[in-house]
Amino acid sequence: MINQPLRYFSAIARHGSIREAAEELHIAQSALSRQIQKLEEEFGVPLFQRHARGVKLTSAGEIFLRHAQTNLRQVERVRSEIDALKGLRRGIVAIRSIESLVPHLLPRAVNRFCARYPGIQFEITIDGSDQVVAAVREGRTDIGLAFYPPAEAELETVFKMREPLVAMMSAHHPLAGRPRVSLADCAAYPIASPMKHSGSRILIDVACKAAGIHISPTLETNAIQLRVAFVKVNHGITFLSRLSAWDSLRSGELMAVPIRDRLVNNATIDAITHSARQLPLAAEEFLRFLQGEFQDLHELAYAPLKREAVARSMRGAEKASAQRLPGDRRS
């Protein structure tokens, strides 16, 4: 089999255990150990540190892992090109994504894509935006879906969707009836915040600095569901995109109040790839498919806002017309 030692090595690195890797690969643990010993003898350095709970990559092992992952993806590309001669029949799409796309976009897109191409498999890991970017940069995934990622020479943005942060709060919150709020308004209430160094937290901190205010979060967590639960039970506020809490918004449990501060309205969710890597055909095709699915979902999520904006405009026009009528003496 092509690159079998690299597959073995990558499996052990992923599990941190020779036993668990052997179970996944359906081979004897002793045979797997011998393969790793051969690699270490060939390079003249240990690739793993052995300890009681498993194994850990050495510095040399980390270098070799990057090579192994790149090589395996190149082999996958070759397979997918050969399969393309017969149609898109098999392949693996590796994705790193932020949590906010888990409830709706990813299950829907994967399900519809697999209905069209039943032989395609997916490996999806959920992470913060900083880890998504790192995985794309280091070649550990095909596609990254990140919130407001930094611009880097090694990253290519395939498409992006505007996804402003809003102030998410209970429908009974004192600020819930306002058409807009500022970050200063929100600072007077308990705040549930994302963790430092995440894309949304960086954006919030930059916006607060620009506004000259300081927010000290009551709760910091990387779990969106925990932040949503936090604001449901008190007068707390959290800052999320609408897609992150769409179910709670549709049920009326939460309100999404737009934020006046300009910076938080510039946020986007970006689909990124490595600029120097050619994706496997299955990943290329899924990326094109995903853009359409994202657009459809985005329009569905923001349809109530568009209808509300049209209704406000019509009410404003009617009010202006009514105010003009008493003074209109042309008849």
Please check whether the domain covering 166-266 is classified as CATH 1.10.10.10.
no
What pLDDT sits at residue 164?
92
Domain ranges of the chain: 1-84, 88-155+271-303, 166-266
Is 166-266 the same fold as 88-155+271-303?
Answer: yes
| CATH fold of the domain at 1-84 | Arc Repressor Mutant, subunit A (1.10.10)
User: What sign has the CA pseudo-torsion 181, 160, 299, 131?
Assistant: negative
What pLDDT sits at residue 303?
66
Candidates 225, 243, 238; CA nearest to 301 is 243
Strand-pairing partners, residue 272, are 144, 157
Decide if 119 contacts 286 (C-beta within 8 A): no
**pLDDT tens sequence across 78-127:** 776 676 656 677 788 999 999 999 988 999 999 999 999 898 999 999 99
**What percent of the chain is helix, strand and coil (3-state, nearest 5)?**
50, 20, 30
pLDDT in tens, the chain (331 residues): 557 888 888 889 988 999 898 888 888 988 889 888 989 998 899 999 988 888 999 999 899 988 888 888 777 777 766 766 566 777 889 999 999 999 889 999 999 999 998 989 999 999 999 999 999 998 889 999 999 998 899 999 999 999 999 999 999 999 999 999 999 999 999 999 999 888 899 999 999 999 999 999 999 999 999 999 999 988 899 999 988 888 888 899 999 999 999 889 989 999 999 998 888 888 999 999 999 999 988 888 776 555 554 444 555 555 666 666 555 544 4
What pLDDT sits at residue 305?
59
**Residue whose tokens read 């510039």:** 266
Between strands 166-170 and 254-258, the pairing is: antiparallel
| CATH fold of the domain at 88-155+271-303 | D-Maltodextrin-Binding Protein; domain 2 (3.40.190)
CA distance 43 to 320: 80
- In a 3-state reduction of DSSP, which class is residue 123? strand
User: What sign has the CA pseudo-torsion 113, 224, 143, 163?
Assistant: positive
**pLDDT tens sequence across 12-53:** 998 899 989 888 888 898 888 988 898 999 889 999 998 888
The encoded tokens of residue 305 equal: 């806002």
Name the amino acid, one letter, at 127. Answer: D
User: pTM for the complete prediction?
Assistant: 0.71
Angle subtended by helix axes 199-211 and 129-137, to nearest 10 = 120
**Residue whose tokens read 């690739």:** 47
